[in-house]
Structure 1
Amino acid sequence: MPEAILSLQNAEIFQRENLVLSNVNLTINTGEFVYLIGKTGSGKSSLMKTLYGDLNLEKGTGSIVGFNLNTLKEKEIPFLRRKLGIVFQDFKLLNDRNVFENLKFVLKATGWKEPVKIESKINEVLAKVGMETKGFKMAFQLSGGEQQRVAIARALLNDPDLILADEPTGNLDPATSVGVMNVLNEIHNAGKTILMATHDYALILKYPHKTIKCEGGELFEVVQQKSAT
Protein backbone atom coordinates (compact mmCIF):
# COMPACT_ATOMS: atom_id res chain seq x y z
CA MET A 1 0.00 0.00 0.00
CA PRO A 2 1.32 3.47 -0.83
CA GLU A 3 1.94 5.62 2.20
CA ALA A 4 0.30 9.06 2.37
CA ILE A 5 2.80 11.79 3.24
CA LEU A 6 0.14 14.51 2.92
CA SER A 7 -3.59 14.15 3.43
CA LEU A 8 -6.39 16.73 3.53
CA GLN A 9 -10.05 15.77 4.01
CA ASN A 10 -12.93 18.19 3.55
CA ALA A 11 -10.51 21.00 4.30
CA GLU A 12 -11.36 24.69 3.96
CA ILE A 13 -8.48 27.01 3.16
CA PHE A 14 -8.74 30.63 4.27
CA GLN A 15 -6.66 33.70 3.43
CA ARG A 16 -7.40 35.97 6.38
CA GLU A 17 -11.22 35.89 6.62
CA ASN A 18 -11.74 34.91 2.99
CA LEU A 19 -12.56 31.31 2.13
CA VAL A 20 -10.41 30.58 -0.96
CA LEU A 21 -10.79 26.80 -1.30
CA SER A 22 -13.54 24.59 0.07
CA ASN A 23 -14.07 20.85 0.36
CA VAL A 24 -10.39 20.13 -0.37
CA ASN A 25 -9.57 16.42 -0.54
CA LEU A 26 -5.96 15.74 -1.41
CA THR A 27 -3.65 12.79 -0.82
CA ILE A 28 -0.01 12.71 -1.87
CA ASN A 29 1.87 9.46 -1.41
CA THR A 30 5.55 9.01 -0.70
CA GLY A 31 7.57 9.22 -3.92
CA GLU A 32 5.03 11.19 -5.97
CA PHE A 33 5.65 14.40 -7.93
CA VAL A 34 2.50 16.51 -8.05
CA TYR A 35 1.88 19.86 -9.73
CA LEU A 36 -0.50 22.39 -8.21
CA ILE A 37 -1.79 24.74 -10.91
CA GLY A 38 -4.28 27.60 -11.11
CA LYS A 39 -4.51 31.29 -11.84
CA THR A 40 -3.12 33.95 -9.50
CA GLY A 41 -5.57 34.31 -6.64
CA SER A 42 -6.99 30.81 -7.06
CA GLY A 43 -5.69 29.66 -3.68
CA LYS A 44 -2.40 27.90 -4.56
CA SER A 45 -0.23 29.96 -2.21
CA SER A 46 -2.80 29.85 0.60
CA LEU A 47 -2.88 26.07 0.33
CA MET A 48 0.93 25.93 0.42
CA LYS A 49 1.04 28.24 3.45
CA THR A 50 -1.47 26.01 5.25
CA LEU A 51 0.75 23.01 4.58
CA TYR A 52 3.87 24.58 6.10
CA GLY A 53 2.09 26.11 9.06
CA ASP A 54 1.87 29.77 8.00
CA LEU A 55 -1.94 29.64 7.93
CA ASN A 56 -4.10 27.59 10.30
CA LEU A 57 -6.30 24.79 9.02
CA GLU A 58 -9.67 26.10 10.23
CA LYS A 59 -12.00 23.34 9.03
CA GLY A 60 -11.62 19.75 7.89
CA THR A 61 -8.73 17.45 8.76
CA GLY A 62 -5.16 17.41 7.58
CA SER A 63 -1.81 15.77 8.21
CA ILE A 64 1.60 16.27 6.64
CA VAL A 65 4.89 14.39 7.27
CA GLY A 66 3.44 12.98 10.49
CA PHE A 67 2.13 16.29 11.88
CA ASN A 68 -1.57 16.92 12.51
CA LEU A 69 -2.43 20.29 10.93
CA ASN A 70 -5.54 20.64 13.11
CA THR A 71 -3.62 20.57 16.38
CA LEU A 72 -0.35 22.11 15.17
CA LYS A 73 1.09 24.40 17.84
CA GLU A 74 3.31 27.40 17.23
CA LYS A 75 6.27 25.71 18.92
CA GLU A 76 5.93 22.64 16.64
CA ILE A 77 6.21 24.64 13.39
CA PRO A 78 10.06 24.70 13.30
CA PHE A 79 10.06 20.88 13.66
CA LEU A 80 7.46 20.54 10.89
CA ARG A 81 9.56 22.73 8.61
CA ARG A 82 12.65 20.61 9.22
CA LYS A 83 10.79 17.69 7.67
CA LEU A 84 9.73 19.86 4.73
CA GLY A 85 12.01 21.40 2.13
CA ILE A 86 10.45 24.71 1.10
CA VAL A 87 11.49 26.43 -2.14
CA PHE A 88 10.11 29.92 -2.81
CA GLN A 89 9.76 31.93 -6.00
CA ASP A 90 12.03 34.70 -4.72
CA PHE A 91 14.89 32.47 -3.42
CA LYS A 92 15.09 34.17 0.02
CA LEU A 93 18.88 33.93 0.16
CA LEU A 94 20.91 36.12 2.51
CA ASN A 95 22.74 38.60 0.29
CA ASP A 96 25.37 39.56 2.86
CA ARG A 97 27.06 36.15 2.78
CA ASN A 98 28.29 33.58 0.32
CA VAL A 99 26.55 30.38 -0.76
CA PHE A 100 28.39 28.19 1.76
CA GLU A 101 27.55 30.57 4.63
CA ASN A 102 23.88 30.72 3.53
CA LEU A 103 23.63 26.97 3.89
CA LYS A 104 25.70 26.84 7.07
CA PHE A 105 23.32 29.40 8.63
CA VAL A 106 20.38 27.01 8.11
CA LEU A 107 22.22 23.99 9.48
CA LYS A 108 23.35 25.86 12.60
CA ALA A 109 19.81 27.18 13.12
CA THR A 110 18.53 23.60 13.02
CA GLY A 111 20.99 22.27 15.56
CA TRP A 112 24.02 21.09 13.57
CA LYS A 113 27.26 21.67 15.50
CA GLU A 114 30.20 19.69 14.07
CA PRO A 115 32.09 21.71 11.42
CA VAL A 116 33.19 18.60 9.50
CA LYS A 117 29.63 17.27 9.22
CA ILE A 118 28.34 20.74 8.28
CA GLU A 119 30.90 21.08 5.49
CA SER A 120 30.25 17.57 4.22
CA LYS A 121 26.46 18.12 4.11
CA ILE A 122 26.80 21.46 2.30
CA ASN A 123 29.11 19.93 -0.31
CA GLU A 124 26.67 17.04 -0.77
CA VAL A 125 23.60 19.23 -1.44
CA LEU A 126 25.51 21.65 -3.70
CA ALA A 127 26.66 18.68 -5.80
CA LYS A 128 23.05 17.53 -6.14
CA VAL A 129 22.07 20.83 -7.76
CA GLY A 130 25.23 21.29 -9.87
CA MET A 131 26.61 24.16 -7.76
CA GLU A 132 29.59 22.44 -6.11
CA THR A 133 32.08 24.97 -7.46
CA LYS A 134 30.06 28.05 -6.41
CA GLY A 135 30.16 27.83 -2.63
CA PHE A 136 32.50 30.83 -2.30
CA LYS A 137 30.31 33.15 -4.39
CA MET A 138 28.17 35.81 -2.75
CA ALA A 139 24.45 35.26 -3.26
CA PHE A 140 24.05 38.51 -5.21
CA GLN A 141 26.77 37.45 -7.68
CA LEU A 142 24.69 34.51 -8.88
CA SER A 143 22.20 34.44 -11.75
CA GLY A 144 18.53 33.82 -10.96
CA GLY A 145 18.82 30.18 -11.98
CA GLU A 146 21.90 29.69 -9.80
CA GLN A 147 20.16 31.34 -6.84
CA GLN A 148 17.21 28.99 -7.24
CA ARG A 149 19.55 25.98 -7.39
CA VAL A 150 21.07 27.14 -4.10
CA ALA A 151 17.55 27.54 -2.68
CA ILE A 152 16.80 23.94 -3.69
CA ALA A 153 20.09 22.82 -2.10
CA ARG A 154 19.03 24.64 1.08
CA ALA A 155 15.69 22.79 1.01
CA LEU A 156 17.57 19.47 0.92
CA LEU A 157 19.85 20.17 3.92
CA ASN A 158 17.83 18.35 6.56
CA ASP A 159 16.86 15.48 4.22
CA PRO A 160 13.17 16.43 4.12
CA ASP A 161 10.35 13.93 3.64
CA LEU A 162 8.50 16.30 1.30
CA ILE A 163 9.56 19.28 -0.82
CA LEU A 164 7.07 22.12 -1.26
CA ALA A 165 8.11 24.27 -4.21
CA ASP A 166 6.00 27.43 -4.56
CA GLU A 167 6.41 28.78 -8.12
CA PRO A 168 10.13 27.88 -8.17
CA THR A 169 10.51 28.98 -11.81
CA GLY A 170 8.23 32.03 -11.51
CA ASN A 171 11.08 34.57 -11.77
CA LEU A 172 13.15 32.69 -14.34
CA ASP A 173 13.33 32.73 -18.13
CA PRO A 174 12.24 29.58 -20.02
CA ALA A 175 15.74 28.13 -20.58
CA THR A 176 16.71 28.65 -16.93
CA SER A 177 13.37 27.18 -15.82
CA VAL A 178 14.16 23.97 -17.69
CA GLY A 179 17.51 23.74 -15.88
CA VAL A 180 15.83 24.15 -12.48
CA MET A 181 13.15 21.64 -13.47
CA ASN A 182 15.83 19.11 -14.42
CA VAL A 183 17.28 19.48 -10.92
CA LEU A 184 13.87 18.91 -9.31
CA ASN A 185 13.25 15.87 -11.50
CA GLU A 186 16.62 14.37 -10.57
CA ILE A 187 15.82 14.88 -6.89
CA HIS A 188 12.42 13.23 -7.41
CA ASN A 189 14.00 10.31 -9.28
CA ALA A 190 16.33 9.84 -6.31
CA GLY A 191 13.25 9.23 -4.15
CA LYS A 192 12.01 12.60 -2.92
CA THR A 193 8.31 13.52 -2.84
CA ILE A 194 7.57 16.92 -4.40
CA LEU A 195 4.53 19.21 -4.51
CA MET A 196 5.17 22.10 -6.90
CA ALA A 197 2.87 25.07 -7.40
CA THR A 198 3.31 26.56 -10.87
CA HIS A 199 1.55 28.41 -13.66
CA ASP A 200 4.16 27.39 -16.24
CA TYR A 201 2.17 25.09 -18.51
CA ALA A 202 5.11 24.59 -20.89
CA LEU A 203 7.02 22.87 -18.07
CA ILE A 204 4.01 20.69 -17.22
CA LEU A 205 3.83 19.49 -20.83
CA LYS A 206 7.57 18.91 -21.00
CA TYR A 207 7.71 17.06 -17.68
CA PRO A 208 4.31 15.42 -17.14
CA HIS A 209 3.36 14.47 -13.59
CA LYS A 210 0.09 14.18 -11.68
CA THR A 211 -1.59 17.62 -11.77
CA ILE A 212 -4.06 19.18 -9.32
CA LYS A 213 -5.88 22.41 -10.22
CA CYS A 214 -7.30 25.22 -8.07
CA GLU A 215 -10.26 26.80 -9.82
CA GLY A 216 -13.54 28.33 -8.72
CA GLY A 217 -12.79 27.71 -5.05
CA GLU A 218 -12.24 24.00 -5.57
CA LEU A 219 -9.37 21.57 -6.06
CA PHE A 220 -9.51 18.74 -8.58
CA GLU A 221 -7.18 16.45 -10.50
CA VAL A 222 -6.51 17.28 -14.16
CA VAL A 223 -6.25 14.48 -16.68
CA GLN A 224 -3.29 15.52 -18.79
CA GLN A 225 -3.52 15.50 -22.55
CA LYS A 226 -0.53 13.94 -24.22
CA SER A 227 1.25 16.68 -26.16
CA ALA A 228 1.45 16.09 -29.91
CA THR A 229 5.04 15.70 -31.02
Structure 2
Amino acid sequence: MSESILALKDVGVFQKENMVLNEISLDIKKGEFVYLIGKTGSGKSSFMKTLYGDLPLRHGEGNIVGFDLKTLKEKDIPFLRRKLGIVFQDFKLLPDRNINNNLQFVLKATGWKDQAKMDTQITEVLDKVGMKTKGFKFPHELSGGEQQRIAIARALLNDPELILADEPTGNLDPQTSVEVMKVLQEINKSGRTILMATHDYALILKYPSKTLKCDGSKVFEVVQNAV
Protein backbone atom coordinates (compact mmCIF):
# COMPACT_ATOMS: atom_id res chain seq x y z
CA MET A 1 0.00 0.00 0.00
CA SER A 2 1.66 3.24 -1.06
CA GLU A 3 1.53 6.11 1.38
CA SER A 4 -0.94 8.99 1.31
CA ILE A 5 0.52 12.35 0.41
CA LEU A 6 -2.82 14.10 0.86
CA ALA A 7 -5.78 12.83 2.85
CA LEU A 8 -8.92 14.88 3.50
CA LYS A 9 -11.91 13.80 5.52
CA ASP A 10 -15.21 15.68 5.50
CA VAL A 11 -13.43 18.97 4.73
CA GLY A 12 -15.20 22.28 4.23
CA VAL A 13 -13.37 25.04 2.34
CA PHE A 14 -14.15 28.61 3.33
CA GLN A 15 -13.52 31.92 1.62
CA LYS A 16 -13.89 34.33 4.57
CA GLU A 17 -17.29 33.37 6.03
CA ASN A 18 -18.61 31.63 2.92
CA MET A 19 -18.32 27.88 2.61
CA VAL A 20 -17.36 27.26 -1.01
CA LEU A 21 -16.87 23.50 -0.86
CA ASN A 22 -18.06 20.96 1.68
CA GLU A 23 -17.89 17.28 2.60
CA ILE A 24 -14.64 16.68 0.73
CA SER A 25 -13.05 13.33 1.44
CA LEU A 26 -10.20 12.19 -0.76
CA ASP A 27 -6.87 10.45 -0.74
CA ILE A 28 -3.92 11.05 -3.04
CA LYS A 29 -1.13 8.50 -2.95
CA LYS A 30 2.57 9.01 -3.48
CA GLY A 31 3.44 9.10 -7.18
CA GLU A 32 -0.06 9.84 -8.49
CA PHE A 33 -0.83 12.46 -11.13
CA VAL A 34 -4.26 13.93 -10.37
CA TYR A 35 -6.25 16.55 -12.22
CA LEU A 36 -8.65 18.92 -10.49
CA ILE A 37 -11.24 20.25 -12.91
CA GLY A 38 -14.25 22.50 -12.60
CA LYS A 39 -15.67 25.71 -13.97
CA THR A 40 -14.25 29.10 -13.04
CA GLY A 41 -15.68 29.99 -9.65
CA SER A 42 -16.26 26.35 -8.67
CA GLY A 43 -13.74 26.63 -5.82
CA LYS A 44 -10.61 25.09 -7.36
CA SER A 45 -8.32 27.93 -6.28
CA SER A 46 -9.80 28.10 -2.77
CA PHE A 47 -9.28 24.35 -2.52
CA MET A 48 -5.62 24.71 -3.56
CA LYS A 49 -5.10 27.62 -1.17
CA THR A 50 -6.40 25.53 1.72
CA LEU A 51 -3.84 22.85 0.83
CA TYR A 52 -0.85 25.20 0.99
CA GLY A 53 -2.01 27.04 4.09
CA ASP A 54 -3.24 30.27 2.49
CA LEU A 55 -6.76 29.60 3.75
CA PRO A 56 -7.20 27.95 7.16
CA LEU A 57 -8.88 24.55 7.42
CA ARG A 58 -11.82 25.22 9.70
CA HIS A 59 -13.93 22.14 9.13
CA GLY A 60 -12.98 18.47 8.80
CA GLU A 61 -9.61 16.75 8.87
CA GLY A 62 -6.74 17.21 6.49
CA ASN A 63 -3.23 15.86 6.29
CA ILE A 64 -0.78 16.92 3.59
CA VAL A 65 2.87 15.79 3.31
CA GLY A 66 2.81 14.95 7.02
CA PHE A 67 1.28 18.26 8.20
CA ASP A 68 -2.06 18.44 9.96
CA LEU A 69 -3.95 21.27 8.26
CA LYS A 70 -6.39 21.61 11.14
CA THR A 71 -3.69 22.44 13.71
CA LEU A 72 -1.36 24.27 11.30
CA LYS A 73 0.12 27.36 12.92
CA GLU A 74 1.24 30.48 11.09
CA LYS A 75 4.87 29.63 11.93
CA ASP A 76 4.53 26.13 10.38
CA ILE A 77 3.44 27.40 6.96
CA PRO A 78 6.97 28.04 5.59
CA PHE A 79 7.93 24.47 6.57
CA LEU A 80 4.81 23.08 4.89
CA ARG A 81 5.60 25.03 1.73
CA ARG A 82 9.12 23.64 1.65
CA LYS A 83 7.62 20.19 1.14
CA LEU A 84 5.25 21.45 -1.54
CA GLY A 85 6.10 22.82 -4.95
CA ILE A 86 3.55 25.40 -6.03
CA VAL A 87 3.13 26.43 -9.67
CA PHE A 88 0.82 29.34 -10.47
CA GLN A 89 -0.90 30.36 -13.68
CA ASP A 90 0.89 33.71 -13.81
CA PHE A 91 4.46 32.44 -13.19
CA LYS A 92 5.13 34.91 -10.31
CA LEU A 93 8.76 35.47 -11.30
CA LEU A 94 10.51 38.56 -9.90
CA PRO A 95 11.00 40.90 -12.89
CA ASP A 96 13.98 42.79 -11.46
CA ARG A 97 16.42 39.87 -11.41
CA ASN A 98 17.59 37.11 -13.70
CA ILE A 99 16.42 33.51 -13.49
CA ASN A 100 19.35 32.28 -11.39
CA ASN A 101 18.73 35.05 -8.89
CA ASN A 102 14.99 34.35 -8.89
CA LEU A 103 15.74 30.77 -7.88
CA GLN A 104 18.43 31.76 -5.42
CA PHE A 105 15.96 34.13 -3.75
CA VAL A 106 13.65 31.18 -3.06
CA LEU A 107 16.45 29.00 -1.70
CA LYS A 108 17.66 31.73 0.65
CA ALA A 109 14.10 32.40 1.78
CA THR A 110 13.72 28.71 2.65
CA GLY A 111 16.90 28.57 4.70
CA TRP A 112 19.69 27.55 2.29
CA LYS A 113 23.10 29.05 3.19
CA ASP A 114 25.81 27.31 1.18
CA GLN A 115 26.36 29.13 -2.15
CA ALA A 116 27.96 26.14 -3.90
CA LYS A 117 25.03 23.90 -2.95
CA MET A 118 22.57 26.56 -4.11
CA ASP A 119 24.34 26.86 -7.47
CA THR A 120 24.28 23.08 -7.93
CA GLN A 121 20.60 22.86 -7.04
CA ILE A 122 19.68 25.69 -9.44
CA THR A 123 21.59 24.05 -12.31
CA GLU A 124 19.91 20.74 -11.55
CA VAL A 125 16.31 22.03 -11.56
CA LEU A 126 16.87 24.13 -14.69
CA ASP A 127 18.25 21.05 -16.40
CA LYS A 128 15.14 19.05 -15.44
CA VAL A 129 12.88 21.52 -17.26
CA GLY A 130 15.19 21.96 -20.27
CA MET A 131 16.24 25.51 -19.36
CA LYS A 132 19.84 24.95 -18.29
CA THR A 133 21.25 27.70 -20.51
CA LYS A 134 18.67 30.35 -19.60
CA GLY A 135 19.76 31.20 -16.05
CA PHE A 136 21.24 34.57 -17.04
CA LYS A 137 18.10 35.77 -18.81
CA PHE A 138 15.53 38.04 -17.22
CA PRO A 139 11.88 36.94 -17.11
CA HIS A 140 10.83 39.46 -19.80
CA GLU A 141 13.38 37.94 -22.19
CA LEU A 142 11.61 34.56 -22.04
CA SER A 143 8.42 33.34 -23.72
CA GLY A 144 5.38 32.39 -21.63
CA GLY A 145 6.19 28.71 -22.00
CA GLU A 146 9.78 29.28 -20.91
CA GLN A 147 8.64 31.33 -17.91
CA GLN A 148 6.31 28.52 -16.87
CA ARG A 149 9.15 26.02 -17.14
CA ILE A 150 11.17 28.26 -14.82
CA ALA A 151 8.19 28.37 -12.45
CA ILE A 152 8.16 24.56 -12.45
CA ALA A 153 11.92 24.52 -11.82
CA ARG A 154 11.34 26.87 -8.90
CA ALA A 155 8.71 24.50 -7.53
CA LEU A 156 11.29 21.68 -7.59
CA LEU A 157 13.99 23.56 -5.65
CA ASN A 158 13.29 22.05 -2.24
CA ASP A 159 12.70 18.56 -3.63
CA PRO A 160 8.97 18.64 -2.79
CA GLU A 161 6.85 15.60 -2.01
CA LEU A 162 3.84 17.12 -3.76
CA ILE A 163 3.51 19.66 -6.56
CA LEU A 164 0.36 21.77 -6.61
CA ALA A 165 -0.07 23.28 -10.06
CA ASP A 166 -2.89 25.83 -10.26
CA GLU A 167 -3.89 26.25 -13.93
CA PRO A 168 -0.23 26.00 -15.05
CA THR A 169 -1.20 26.16 -18.74
CA GLY A 170 -3.94 28.77 -18.30
CA ASN A 171 -1.96 31.55 -19.99
CA LEU A 172 -0.32 29.43 -22.69
CA ASP A 173 -1.26 28.53 -26.25
CA PRO A 174 -2.12 24.86 -26.99
CA GLN A 175 1.32 23.91 -28.37
CA THR A 176 3.16 25.44 -25.40
CA SER A 177 0.67 23.84 -23.02
CA VAL A 178 1.60 20.43 -24.37
CA GLU A 179 5.31 21.19 -23.91
CA VAL A 180 4.76 22.26 -20.29
CA MET A 181 2.61 19.19 -19.74
CA LYS A 182 5.42 16.95 -20.99
CA VAL A 183 7.73 18.52 -18.41
CA LEU A 184 5.18 17.81 -15.66
CA GLN A 185 4.77 14.23 -16.90
CA GLU A 186 8.54 13.66 -16.75
CA ILE A 187 8.63 15.02 -13.19
CA ASN A 188 5.77 12.71 -12.24
CA LYS A 189 7.61 9.72 -13.74
CA SER A 190 10.54 10.45 -11.43
CA GLY A 191 8.20 9.58 -8.55
CA ARG A 192 6.78 12.96 -7.60
CA THR A 193 3.10 13.44 -6.87
CA ILE A 194 1.28 16.16 -8.81
CA LEU A 195 -2.15 17.73 -8.29
CA MET A 196 -2.98 19.98 -11.20
CA ALA A 197 -6.00 22.27 -11.39
CA THR A 198 -6.99 22.88 -14.99
CA HIS A 199 -9.89 23.53 -17.31
CA ASP A 200 -7.89 22.48 -20.35
CA TYR A 201 -9.86 19.39 -21.36
CA ALA A 202 -7.68 18.81 -24.44
CA LEU A 203 -4.73 18.10 -22.13
CA ILE A 204 -6.77 15.70 -20.01
CA LEU A 205 -7.79 13.75 -23.11
CA LYS A 206 -4.19 13.67 -24.35
CA TYR A 207 -2.73 12.69 -20.97
CA PRO A 208 -5.51 10.81 -19.14
CA SER A 209 -5.09 10.41 -15.40
CA LYS A 210 -7.12 10.31 -12.19
CA THR A 211 -9.49 13.30 -12.24
CA LEU A 212 -11.29 15.11 -9.44
CA LYS A 213 -14.08 17.54 -10.21
CA CYS A 214 -15.24 20.63 -8.30
CA ASP A 215 -18.94 21.04 -8.88
CA GLY A 216 -21.95 22.11 -6.81
CA SER A 217 -19.75 22.70 -3.73
CA LYS A 218 -18.41 19.12 -3.83
CA VAL A 219 -15.18 17.53 -5.01
CA PHE A 220 -15.50 14.01 -6.41
CA GLU A 221 -13.62 11.63 -8.69
CA VAL A 222 -14.91 11.37 -12.23
CA VAL A 223 -14.52 8.52 -14.67
CA GLN A 224 -12.19 9.57 -17.48
CA ASN A 225 -14.61 9.30 -20.40
CA ALA A 226 -17.27 11.21 -18.49
CA VAL A 227 -15.11 14.36 -18.29
Give, in angstroms, the shift of residue 51 of structure 1. Answer: 0.2
The equivalent of 2:43 in structure 1 is 43
The equivalent of 1:106 in structure 2 is 106
The farther-off stretch of 172-181 and 108-117 is 108-117
The aligned amino acid for 2:212 is I
Deviations 1:65-112 (A, max 9, x none): 000000000000000000000000000000000011100111111111
Give, in angstroms, the shift of residue 226 of structure 1. Answer: 9.0
The farther-off stretch of 10-19 and 124-133 is 10-19
Query: What pairs with 1:123-138 in structure 2 (closer than 5 Å)?
Result: 123-138=123-138
Distance 1:215 1:159 in 2: 32
Distance 1:97 1:224 in 2: 42
Distance 1:64 1:138 in 2: 34
The equivalent of 1:21 in structure 2 is 21
The aligned amino acid for 1:143 is S
Runs (5+) with no aligned partner, structure 2? none
Distance 2:17 2:225 in 1: 36
Give, in angstroms, the shift of residue 115 of structure 1. Answer: 1.4
| Pair 1:76-2:84 in alignment | no
Q: 4+ residue runs of structure 1 moved beyond 3 angstroms?
A: none
The equivalent of 1:147 in structure 2 is 147
Distance 2:121 2:56 in 1: 33
User: What SS does the corresponding residue of 1:47 show, helix, strand or coil?
Assistant: helix
The equivalent of 1:195 in structure 2 is 195
User: What SS does the corresponding residue of 2:13 show, helix, strand or coil?
Assistant: strand
Distance 1:206 1:6 in 2: 25
The equivalent of 1:66 in structure 2 is 66
Distance 1:105 1:218 in 2: 38
The aligned amino acid for 1:112 is W
TM-score, structure 1 as length reference: 0.98
Seq. identity, %: 72
Distance 1:91 1:105 in 2: 15
The aligned amino acid for 1:134 is K
Equivalent pairs, count: 227
The aligned amino acid for 1:17 is E
User: What SS does the corresponding residue of 2:7 show, helix, strand or coil?
Assistant: strand
TM-score, structure 2 as length reference: 0.98
Give, in angstroms, the shift of residue 121 of structure 1. Answer: 0.5
Distance 2:150 2:170 in 1: 16
Give, in angstroms, the shift of residue 174 of structure 1. Answer: 0.4
Give, in angstroms, the shift of residue 140 of structure 1. Answer: 1.2
| Pair 1:158-2:158 in alignment | yes
Runs (5+) with no aligned partner, structure 1? none
